[in-house]
Structure 1
Amino acid sequence: MKKLLMICGLLFSVITFAQAQDGGRQKMTPEERVQRSVAGLSKKLNLNEDQKTKAAAIFLDQMNAMEKARAAGNTDKEARRAEMMKLSEETDAKIAEILTADQKKTYETYKAERKERMKGNRMGQGPKAGGEQ
């Protein structure tokens, strides 16, 4: 009986450790990622319902295209990166088309901030101290 309890405890520890390594997060579905993207954009730009619907369709198209590109199995890292960048730029252009003039200005600022954050993350700096990003 003691051996069984010890094995169960060990198994539980391994499972807990594995989940901690994964951050305990479950993968989000494409629809959940779309909703998160739309919610973030709506928060930044104060989108109306029509804009939210259009943005959701644009983000879903982008995610489907990116998934298709990943599934193609292109092993050339630079070619795959270039394709992803192209898809991202096309999405940005489509999003800009549905925005008002004031929203476009805010969106450009948001994109610049996002680019700087990503640049910092690539250089190993991660988020700035004090919880700023």
Structure 2
Amino acid sequence: MKKLLMICALLFSVITFAQAQQGQGGGRMGGTPEERAKRSTDMLAEKLKLTDDQKAKVSALYLEQGEKSKKLREEAGDDRDAMRAAMVKSNEELETKITALLTADQKKAFTAWQEERKEMMKKRQEGGGPRPGGR
């Protein structure tokens, strides 16, 4: 009985510790809108060699997008189709705004990177392949 109790206590400790390690969001792009905006901006800056001015503007766009997404999720409630449609539209608007900030070479690289990500996501949905972002 003592062994069983010890095993349960140990298992509980491990689970609690593992959940604490995941942090606030825990999901694939978890965290606050600010943290997600920073991660997205850093990734884009690395891929496209953004200037400091571009980084600041892109970061502001990602932060605005994060707040907008949060609001859309709250408004949509359980209507996943409506939320998905609104998010797709919102993401297209974000893409247009980001593209407007880029040079011609950066636009080409951005388009290529997006196609690469779409292919990776398609492969994942089909059952395998790496995650977007290289993780």
Q: 2:86 matched to 1:83?
A: yes
Q: 2:9 matched to 1:11?
A: yes
Q: 2:118 aligns with which of 115, 120, 126?
A: 115
Supply the AA of the counterpart residue of 2:9: L
Q: TM-score, normalized by length of structure 2?
A: 0.81
Deviations 1:74-104 (A, max 9, x none): 3222221111111111111000010001000
Gapped regions of structure 1 (runs ≥ 5): none
Identity of aligned residues (%): 38
The aligned runs of 1:23-102 (5 Å cut-off) are: 24-26=21-23, 27=25, 28-102=31-105
Q: Give 1:123 shift.
A: 2.1
Q: TM-score, normalized by length of structure 1?
A: 0.82
Matched position secondary structure for 2:34: helix
Q: How many residues align?
A: 127
Q: Give 1:36 shift.
A: 0.6
Work out which of the two has the higher radius of gyration on C-alpha atoms and give 1 or 2.
Answer: 1
Deviations 1:14-55 (A, max 9, x none): 1313554x5932122211111110010000000000000000
Deviations 1:4-23 (A, max 9, x none): x9757633421313554x59
How large is the Cα RMSD of the aligned pairs? 2.6
Q: Give 1:107 shift.
A: 0.3
> Is the 8 Å Cα contact of residues 48 and 109 (structure 2) preserved in structure 1?
yes
**Which structure is richer in relative contact order (CA contacts within 8 A, separation 6 or more)?**
1
